[in-house]
């Protein structure tokens, strides 16, 4: 198996395992396809940094004109370190701290996506203290069912995200009397890994109605942020293509005087990355067969956290007999299973496997649980590759601790 023109085995030999491997060509293709799908409309693609926050990935998207959707001061610092355009940054999240608001305001970001009355109040204070008006949009909760995993659906009434429509209208009216903020947009995000455009059409339609209403009241909105969420194929899902997705968003917004802001994460990076891992042991038991590999739930938590499916493939094709096995990691948790009941060629100790579609929410959610250093990250380009994040070392694990 190759990443572009580089055999994964060559990467494993020089960098070791577990290692995340990303393809430049795929990342570039994805950002271009998304940008192109919205050609002819005023739009801004703000890559959702949380999906994969490696500086090399951010820098690549920045060079393609992307802005960024951030949720913390840390993500803003990453955008700055990657030389991303801070004026194209939108700041999302329900729990922004005062110092984070102040930092982002002084950095000069495009807008704050405000999620509560108290946050707006604080942003106003921060703006007045800095003697500027902080540009904001309210994230509304469109109350639609995104039909995705309950842990990643965010647009339902019961969700902690966004504010109800009626309250949003009040917030915009209230904000007119404030000296430290200025309303420039309206925002929503209904959830992640969406495989159907219907909830998106419904949400965008509702939000467009609210945008019109607010403009009618004289609120000078210029940006309509429709969030991210477009799904990818991990196994058998059939997410809409970019043309269909773009149409689903553009149609309800026809005639609207707004820059469409998009916050794609997963769709840009998921299929551009694999997690490369090595077989440690085979372990047949009376009831099940286990293949123990050197990547665990600390490296890729999606299967354990969301019961997510990631295809697992041998790096070197092996002909002949196949075996049903459970691919598990070394972490001391029963949920440390990367793939259960997988029919795979009979693997030998030392064989390499690739956990597919691991470019999104892989490394960015990795931890050092069980005091396991986090994996290295490698970026391939054509026939060359480079380490874009070094493997953590043992002494990194207790940096800052004292005896």
Residues labelled as active-site residues: 332
Shortest Cβ distance from residue 296 to ligand LLP (Å)?
Answer: 16
30 near ligand LLP, judged by CB under 6 A: no
Tell me the residue nearest to ligand LLP as measured from the CB.
Answer: 265
The pair phi, psi for residue 279, each rounded to 5°, is -75, 125
The whole-angstrom separation of Cα 383 and Cα 330 is 32
For ligand LLP, the closer CB: 183 or 200: 200
Which one-letter DSSP state was computed for residue 82?
A: T
Element (H, E) at 182: strand 181-187
Taking CB under 6 A as the rule, which mask of x and - marks residues 65-104 in contact with ligand LLP?
Answer: ----x----------------------x------------
192 near ligand LLP, judged by CB under 6 A: yes
223 near ligand LLP, judged by CB under 6 A: no
Residue range at the interface with ligand LLP (CB under 6 A); choices 24-32, 223-231, 237-245, 384-392:
223-231
The whole-angstrom separation of Cα 330 and Cα 27 is 30
266 near ligand LLP, judged by CB under 6 A: yes
The whole-angstrom separation of Cα 137 and Cα 186 is 5
189 near ligand LLP, judged by CB under 6 A: yes
- Using CB under 6 A, which of 19, 23, 26, 48 touches ligand LLP? 48
The closest alpha carbon to 274, from 229, 327, 329, 314, belongs to 314
Among residue numbers 226 through 255, which ones bind ligand LLP (CB under 6 A)?
Answer: 227-230
Is residue 147 classed exposed, middle or buried when 0-12, 13-18 and 19+ CB atoms within 10 A define those classes? middle
119 near ligand LLP, judged by CB under 6 A: no
Residue range at the interface with ligand LLP (CB under 6 A); choices 24-32, 225-233, 286-294, 376-384:
225-233
Element (H, E) at 14: helix 8-15
Shortest Cβ distance from residue 58 to ligand LLP (Å)?
Answer: 14
Residue range at the interface with ligand LLP (CB under 6 A); choices 209-217, 250-258, 265-273, 310-318:
265-273
- Using CB under 6 A, which of 124, 263, 351, 377 touches ligand LLP? 263
Contact 297, 287 (CB under 8 A): no
140 near ligand LLP, judged by CB under 6 A: no
The whole-angstrom separation of Cα 297 and Cα 305 is 9
302 near ligand LLP, judged by CB under 6 A: yes
The whole-angstrom separation of Cα 317 and Cα 383 is 21
CB-based contacts of 331-334 (< 8 A; 24+ apart in sequence): 331/296, 331/297, 331/298, 331/369, 331/370, 331/372, 332/370, 333/297, 333/304
For ligand LLP, the closer CB: 15 or 261: 261
The closest alpha carbon to 29, from 377, 382, 360, 272, belongs to 272
Give the residues lining the site for ligand LLP (CB under 6 A).
Answer: 48, 51, 69, 92, 152, 189, 192-193, 227-230, 263-267, 302, 306, 361
């Amino acid at each position: 198996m190759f990443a572009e023109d580089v055999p994964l085995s060559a990467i494993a030999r020089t960098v070791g395992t577990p290692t995340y491997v990303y393809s430049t060509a795929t990342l570039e293709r994805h950002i271009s396809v998304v940008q192109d799908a919205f050609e002819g409309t005023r739009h801004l693609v703000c890559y959702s940094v949380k999906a994969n926050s490696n500086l090399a990935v951010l820098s690549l998207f920045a060079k393609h004109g992307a802005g960024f959707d951030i949720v913390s001061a840390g993500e803003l610092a990453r955008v700055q370190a990657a030389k991303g355009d801070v004026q194209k940054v939108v700041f999302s999240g329900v729990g922004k701290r005062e110092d984070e608001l102040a930092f982002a305001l002084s950095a000069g970001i495009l807008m704050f996506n405000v999620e509560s009355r108290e946050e707006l109040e604080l942003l106003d204070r921060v703006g007045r203290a800095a003697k500027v008006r902080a540009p904001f949009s309210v994230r509304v909760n469109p109350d639609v069912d995104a039909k995705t995993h309950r842990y990643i659906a965010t647009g339902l009434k019961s969700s902690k995200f966004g504010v109800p429509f009626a309250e949003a209208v009040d917030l915009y009216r209230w904000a007119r009397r404030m000296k430290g903020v200025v309303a420039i947009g309206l925002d929503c995000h209904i959830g992640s890994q969406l495989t159907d455009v219907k909830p998106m059409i419904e949400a965008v339609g509702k939000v467009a109605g609210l945008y019109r209403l607010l403009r009618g009241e004289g609120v000078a909105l210029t940006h309509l942020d429709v969030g991210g969420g477009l799904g990818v194929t991990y196994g058998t899902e059939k997410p809409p293509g970019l043309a269909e997705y773009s149409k689903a968003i553009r149609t309800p917004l026809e005639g609207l005087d707004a820059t469409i802001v998009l916050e794609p994460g997963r769709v840009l990076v998921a299929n551009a990355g694999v997690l490369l891992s090595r077989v440690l042991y085979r372990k047949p038991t009376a009831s099940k067969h286990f293949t123990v590999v050197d990547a665990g739930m600390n490296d890729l938590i999606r299967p354990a956290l969301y019961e997510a499916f990631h295809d697992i493939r041998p790096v070197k094709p092996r002909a002949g007999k196949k075996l049903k096995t459970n691919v598990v990691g070394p972490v001391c948790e029963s949920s440390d299973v990367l793939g259960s009941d997988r029919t795979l060629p009979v693997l030998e100790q030392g064989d390499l496997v690739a956990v597919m579609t691991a470019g999104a929410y892989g490394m960015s959610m990795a931890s050092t649980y069980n005091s396991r250093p986090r994996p290295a990250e490698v970026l391939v380009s054509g026939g060359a590759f480079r380490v874009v994040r070094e493997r953590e070392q043992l002494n990194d694990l207790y940096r800052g601790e004292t005896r």
